[in-house]
Amino acid sequence: MNRDDPEGAIAQAAKACSNWGRWGEDDRIGTLNFLDDAKRREGAALVRRGASFSLSQRFDMEGPQNGWRRRTNPVHTMLDTGADAALGNQGFPHGLGGADDVIAMPLQCSTQWDGLGHIFDHGRAWNGRDAATTVTSAGDLVTGIEHMAPYVAGRGVLLDVGRVVGEDGELPDGFAVTEEHLAATVAAHGVAVGRGDLVVVRTGQLSRVRRAGWGDYAGGPAPGLSFTTAGWLHCTEIAAIATDTWGFEVRPNEFDHAFQPLHQVVIPHMGLLIGEMWDPDALAADCADDGVYEFWLTAAPLPITGAVGSPVNPIAVK
Amino acid sequence: MNRDDPEGAIAQAAKACSNWGRWGEDDRIGTLNFLDDAKRREGAALVRRGASFSLSQRFDMEGPQNGWRRRTNPVHTMLDTGADAALGNQGFPHGLGGADDVIAMPLQCSTQWDGLGHIFDHGRAWNGRDAATTVTSAGDLVTGIEHMAPYVAGRGVLLDVGRVVGEDGELPDGFAVTEEHLAATVAAHGVAVGRGDLVVVRTGQLSRVRRAGWGDYAGGPAPGLSFTTAGWLHCTEIAAIATDTWGFEVRPNEFDHAFQPLHQVVIPHMGLLIGEMWDPDALAADCADDGVYEFWLTAAPLPITGAVGSPVNPIAVK
Amino acid sequence: MNRDDPEGAIAQAAKACSNWGRWGEDDRIGTLNFLDDAKRREGAALVRRGASFSLSQRFDMEGPQNGWRRRTNPVHTMLDTGADAALGNQGFPHGLGGADDVIAMPLQCSTQWDGLGHIFDHGRAWNGRDAATTVTSAGDLVTGIEHMAPYVAGRGVLLDVGRVVGEDGELPDGFAVTEEHLAATVAAHGVAVGRGDLVVVRTGQLSRVRRAGWGDYAGGPAPGLSFTTAGWLHCTEIAAIATDTWGFEVRPNEFDHAFQPLHQVVIPHMGLLIGEMWDPDALAADCADDGVYEFWLTAAPLPITGAVGSPVNPIAVK
Amino acid sequence: MNRDDPEGAIAQAAKACSNWGRWGEDDRIGTLNFLDDAKRREGAALVRRGASFSLSQRFDMEGPQNGWRRRTNPVHTMLDTGADAALGNQGFPHGLGGADDVIAMPLQCSTQWDGLGHIFDHGRAWNGRDAATTVTSAGDLVTGIEHMAPYVAGRGVLLDVGRVVGEDGELPDGFAVTEEHLAATVAAHGVAVGRGDLVVVRTGQLSRVRRAGWGDYAGGPAPGLSFTTAGWLHCTEIAAIATDTWGFEVRPNEFDHAFQPLHQVVIPHMGLLIGEMWDPDALAADCADDGVYEFWLTAAPLPITGAVGSPVNPIAVK
């Protein structure tokens, strides 16, 4: 890989990994096509104990965002409160009181899915579409995340690369997770990864910032997937992959002047569903305990019409 | 039931159905306590075909809200677009383009869960807490919906009362669904409802407004649960219940001067998790086809800190 | 004027009225260049009694917006309240209590100025700039309304066309105000209109909807400036003009298939500052009383960086 | 002044400076009552050159807010853009293109007025009202800033305390501006301050942070009015006062454990209109040049119904 030529490397990887046309001209869900009913039956069979885990961070003003490109933390405000109810300010009959609330937030502010309209390569969106007419100020007119609404439920696999490869369960910032690291983790866990799976990669960075403070979690140095894993992401035919980091791929990126080059391959060319800022820690502790790294995973995006991303509360059940 | 005395009826039902203290003084999740690991194992075993269904309406400006008490439809705006990417307006290297987005919405605007801090009775919140200090302008400081994050996954049951009791699959507006109607539906479906279940009631109103336009869907006349079902909701020990209507209970309410009296019993006194504006139609059609009205249901609220409600995309898998 | 050819008519008017280059290649304020210090001295001399008038509608959920193109009414929510203060929920020392608030609103939702980046003609913005790179998802990068911040204060003139030409002080919906009507009003008022003036046109539609309800105020039929007034708007060299209607120009527009053709001439080609949804009624009543239709007017847009419009509370002093 | 007893000092000052009842039980505008038509005539006569100045900071993500109590910087997003217009994405006829935008912001985020419902003393709001029922989750039901809409235009006076008392034109953080400093500045400027005036105090802190970065501008140490100026603020019978700092009064406050004690006196007890985060620098440079520190000032709040504050673009004309 030539550090000087991200554009060439991206073009080469895009060509090697392209899924354009694979599911027809009208496809709107990309690699979610790999997640079929059979896979869901397989996933559901993994529920043995009935223990459930949330893989979501909390959504509030204490989140990691720092305003980059107008990405803020969620602002939650109340339309009605218990205070007003108790004081009789609400005008409801027979002692009824109520509280309502409002949120204003970037869809990329915390635990989320990137929609297929989130990233483009030279003006091309997923399946070769023209980015200019696919994602306008009115939103993603073709591949809005609402089209994925029913599908993101299946077999989940945790790859705790932090625990297997890192020290004290954590990879350092700037650590590029390669295919070899993924293979070693798969082997250590004794778990298979393949077609239609929903893969969760734990680097341990979130555990670290939970201890040490957010610092540059949002956009700064971080462990993450190496650009070189594009082939693995393609060949395994997984349906989706998520990490506990802001940006999924290793940062700084592995080219001299680059920004999220792996995104540029996997979203527009592969149609891969990418999750970011997930919190796998409670699940990972359980997996380390019982040695079982596969589970039923439901991570349904909110069907916000035309959205290029969605907050999500992924639920794993073992 | 005396139409003149909602306050008395509420007090009586509240006393009969109270769960205050049942799960300790510190409880934050109410009837979700009924949904245990055994129940989840039972629910997961219902996945036979692997078919998945979203029970969510879409979140957009075409929704039902009309501004009542500042409840609006979601406003989704773009921070970056494919148009700007294609025009080279973004300043990213190597042909990368991106789209990001923002949403502003009431948490009660579309398919949702009511949190336990959503309704009060004479200044009392769930478990007997003081509403005035539990839900302030800073949000629900005790029973915020984030505390339910990992738990809302279990055995789902659809009670298609519209199909069983209504004409052409729909109950008329103002139709009060009683315990008898629920029992008849349970019997017709050949399905049991009990402790820890997540019950979805289809009245058919959403099918009707989908055809005819929203009209007064948000707050106007609607079929829904009769006030008299409080006992059934309590005795069955279900974990949660959701409807395809704006307000869960029948409207106009069954008292002369009243507003959502059943809410006033089941949320603060029972700690019951209530869902509204769900879209069960695709699932209901499938259930009518195969005669199977139970399934695995995941309906995870977004863990918005201090929220008294949450949008949700419930996923049923059969 | 050929009703069949709005595009031709717009091209012709644009050519006749263009101010491109008039104030140099870098101009960001258009006809505000006409409003100079001498004009301000003239305007200030009009303060005789010291009576002040607001020409703004109120900003709240009761406004005229209906969601067209995601234009909503303002949503105002509280971050802290007197209720919480009184209950001691805020944690401040020595009996201090506070209330804070938040607003979410389209900048075009109520009494406003259109910025110069608000309207384009065939991809061209004010002064001949490329719309594609001038107004991106990041806002108006060149002619953002912040550049007008210090300037919008000068001599104001009210043309109460409703009172002069209409019946009972109001023009009917669909009434096109022509140069002749403007001239008749100027004559009736005994007031001059010229270079650098800030002109307020009252049609009376706002008085009518205040009585009768909003109806289609936002986008429906309305009295307003005729397309044929483009020449008058240009030759008078006024600095700005505002109306009491949603859209400034007459609606339905005066072509068979058209949308706001006068905007397409006066904003991108003339660089004219346009105000909409102003409330001149209190001022107009006073002018009718004392027969004085000129005054000191300050109507400063909020300097929102990159905005293509701004809410405004215009203050007239006589 | 006893540093140990803010509560006692506040009570004493409140008693000495109270205007409760002065303008009747129904008063909603406090010291704006001092600003009458005669004062406006006097103010308008100060327009000699016609030069106009904006005293507003820009409203954008680069502002000083850091999230304290959910106060964020303004988030401005586009509903339509020139990029989409140029690409033909908008569906308008005859070559028309448009751009629209939206803002979400705290009303206290940048250059602003504090409304009379912004601060309470022991549960009491302006004029002795009960804070609990005056400012609820529905907003300020009595003294909302909309009631001030027409009035904030009159004689402005700049007191450039930074230039007169400070070094290099700036007071250091923590510097308490006393009555003596104000008097010295008045004398140095040769300007009178009295009944109905709109006073702008420049400390120079904004000039400093403009150079050095925001740092703790929002809530940290700052020069500002001493608690001891309450009497001066009362006796002068000024209509309003604004500073170039976040919080008007000196910070840290002059008591051992206190938060904004001067606010607690002047807003609820005096009904004084307070401005914060104004930018007087361009005006101050001009005043230093010509030695004239009085001018016509219009600073009209947006009439947001029920608001306890408003962004404002104050316009001074000399």
Q: Are residues C92 and C236 in the same domain?
A: no
Q: Check whether residue B53 and residue B92 sit in a common domain.
A: no
Q: Which of D75, D136, D137 to mutate to test the interface with A (most CBs of A within 10 A)?
A: D137
Partners of C251 in the β-ladder? C222
Q: Report if residue C1 sits inside a domain.
A: no
| Residue B1 resides in a domain | no
**Which residues are B2's β-sheet partners?**
none
Tell me whether residue A291 is in a domain.
yes
**What one-character DSSP code corresponds to residue B90?**
S
Per CB-CB distance under 8 Å, the chain D contacts of B87 are 83, 86-87
For residue B64, what are its two tokens?
């039902």
User: Considering the entire predicted model, what is its pTM?
Assistant: 0.97
Give residue B2's pLDDT: 83
Q: What is the three-class DSSP state of B43?
A: helix
What whole-number distance in Å separates Cα of residue D252 and Cα of residue D176? 9
Instruction: Say if B86 is an interface residue toward chain A (CB within 8 Å).
Output: yes
Angle, helices A281-290/A205-212, rounded to nearest 10 degrees: 120
Alpha-carbon distance of C9 to D75, in angstroms, equals: 39
Q: What is the pLDDT of residues A173-190, one digit of tens each?
A: 999 999 999 999 999 999
Question: Looking at the domain assignment, is residue A1 inside a domain?
Answer: no
C-alpha torsion angle, residues B289, B294, B300, B306 (rounded to 10):
120
User: Which residues contact residue C165 at a Cβ distance below 8 angstroms, ignoring those fewer than 6 apart?
Assistant: C171, C177, C181, C184, C185
**Cβ-nearest to B87 among C84, C104, C132:** C132
Say if residue D115 is in the same domain as residue D37.
yes
* Average pLDDT along chain D: 97
Q: Is C252 exposed, middle or buried (0-12, 13-18, 19+ CB in 10 A)?
A: middle
- Helices of type H across chain B: 6-17, 37-44, 82-86, 131-134, 161-165, 179-189, 205-212, 230-235, 261-265, 281-290
Candidates C188, C180, C270; CA nearest to C233 is C270
pLDDT of the residue at C120: 98
Rounded to whole angstroms, the Cα distance separating B106 from B310 reads: 9
D161 membership: H or E segment, kind and range = helix D161-165
Q: Digits of tens for pLDDT over chain B (318 positions)?
A: 689 999 999 999 999 999 999 999 999 999 999 999 999 999 999 999 999 999 999 999 999 999 999 999 999 999 999 999 999 999 999 999 999 999 999 999 999 999 999 999 999 999 999 999 999 999 999 999 999 999 999 999 999 999 999 999 999 999 999 999 999 999 999 999 999 999 999 999 999 999 999 999 999 999 999 999 999 999 999 999 999 999 999 999 999 999 999 999 999 999 999 999 999 999 999 999 999 999 999 999 999 999 999 999 999 999
DSSP secondary structure letter of residue A171: P
What is the C-alpha to C-alpha distance for residues A162 and A159, in angstroms, rounded to an integer?
9
Are A219 and A165 contained in the same domain?
Answer: yes
Using CB atoms, list chains with 3+ pairs below 8 Å to chain A: B, C, D
Taking a C-beta distance cutoff of 8 angstroms, is the pair A100, A85 a contact? no
Average pLDDT value for residue range A278-307: 98
Rounded CA separation D90/A141 (Å): 12
Neighbours of chain D (3+ CB pairs under 8 A): A, B, C
Instruction: Let me know whether A185 and A82 are in one domain.
Output: no
Query: Which H helix or E strand runs over B129?
Result: strand B129-130
Q: Is residue D117 part of a domain?
A: yes
Chains sharing 3 or more CB pairs under 8 A with chain C? A, B, D
**Of the candidates A225, A241, A240, A236, the residue with the CA atom closest to the CA atom of residue A181:** A225
Q: Rounded to an integer, what distance in angstroms lies between the CA atom of residue A240 and that of residue A245?
A: 15
* Residue from the list C77, C84, C89 with its beta carbon closest to the beta carbon of A79: C77
Q: Which of B137, B142, B214 to mutate to test the interface with C (most CBs of C within 10 A)?
A: B137
Residues D114 and D259 occupy one common structural domain? yes
Side-chain half-sphere exposure of D58, counting CA atoms within 13 A: 16
Which whole number is the average pLDDT over D300-304?
98
Structure tokens given for B12: 């009586």
Q: How far apart are CA D47 and CA A287, in angstroms?
A: 76
- C10 and C150, same domain (yes or no): yes
Say yes or no: A99 and A124 in one domain: no
> Are both B96 and B172 inside the same structural domain?
no
* Sequence-ordered strand ranges (E) for A4-138: 52-54, 75-80, 96-98, 100-106, 112-114, 119-121, 135-136
Asked if D256 and D301 sit in the same domain, the reply is yes
| Residue D182, pLDDT above cutoff 80 | yes
Tens of pLDDT along chain C (318 residues) come to 689 999 999 999 999 999 999 999 999 999 999 999 999 999 999 999 999 999 999 999 999 999 999 999 999 999 999 999 999 999 999 999 999 999 999 999 999 999 999 999 999 999 999 999 999 999 999 999 999 999 999 999 999 999 999 999 999 999 999 999 999 999 999 999 999 999 999 999 999 999 999 999 999 999 999 999 999 999 999 999 999 999 999 999 999 999 999 999 999 999 999 999 999 999 999 999 999 999 999 999 999 999 999 999 999 999
Three-class DSSP category at D157: strand
A315 and A299 in contact (C-beta within 8 Å)? yes
Alpha carbon distance C169, C91 (integer Å):
55
CB-closest option in A96, A102, A119 to B264: A96
Nearest CA in chain D to A76: D70
- pLDDT tens by residue, D212-266: 999 999 999 999 999 999 999 999 999 999 999 999 999 999 999 999 999 999 9
CB contact under 8 A, D89 and B79: no
3-state secondary structure of D173: coil
**B100/D136 Cα distance (integer angstroms):** 35
Does residue A52 sit in the same domain as residue A120?
A: yes
Domain residues for the domain of C95 are 75-103
Ramachandran quadrant class, B175 (left: phi over 0; alpha: psi -120 to 50; beta: rest): beta
Count of helix runs (H) and strand runs (E) in chain C: 10, 19
Considering only residues 98 to 137 of chain A, which have any Cβ-Cβ distance to chain D shorter than 8 Å? 104, 132-133, 136-137
The pLDDT, as a whole number, for residue A130 is 98
* Rounded CA separation D34/D56 (Å): 24
**Average pLDDT value for chain A:** 97
Does residue A77 sit at the D interface (CB-CB below 8 Å)?
A: yes
Instruction: Note the pLDDT of residue A2.
Output: 83
Beta bridge partners of D240: D198, D273
Which tens digit of pLDDT belongs to each residue from D131-156?
A: 999 999 999 999 999 999 999 999 99
Is a pLDDT exceeding 90 seen at residue A1? no
Q: What is the per-residue pLDDT for C224? A: 98
DSSP state of B6: H
Distance between CA D35 and CA D37 in Å, rounded? Answer: 7
Q: Is pLDDT of D1 > 80? A: no
CB-CB contact of D46 with D298 (8 Å):
no
Q: For residue D63, which residues of chain C lie inside 8 Å, CB to CB?
A: none
Give the CA angle between residues A280, A282, A287 to the nearest 5°.
85
- C217 and C79, same structural domain? no
| CB A37, CB B51: distance < 8 Å | yes
Q: Average pLDDT of D42-63?
A: 98
Sheet holding C96-98, edge to edge: C96-98, D119-121, D124-125, D129-130
Window 1-60 of B: residues touching A by CB (8 A cutoff) are 6-7, 10, 36-41, 44-45, 47-54, 56-60
* Residue D1 domain flag: no
Which residues in chain B touch residue C80, judged by CB atoms under 8 angstroms apart? 137-138
Beta strands in A161-262, from DSSP E residues, in sequence order: 176-177, 198-201, 224-225, 240-243
Separation of alpha carbons D306 and D117, rounded Å:
9
Of C103, C122, C157, the one marking the end of a domain is: C103
- Asked if A87 lies within 8 A of C86 by C-beta distance, the reply is yes
Rounded average pLDDT over A44-49: 98
Assembly ipTM: 0.97
Q: How confident is the model at residue D2 (pLDDT cuts 50, 70, 90)?
A: confident
Is residue A174 domain-resident? yes
Q: Token pair for residue D301?
A: 């709040």
CATH of the domain at A13: 3.50.30.50
Count up the domains in chain C and report the number: 2
Distance (Å, whole) CA A89 – CA A272: 50
Residue A88, CA distances (Å) to A96, B268, D133 in order? 9, 17, 9
Let me know if residue D169 belongs to a domain: yes
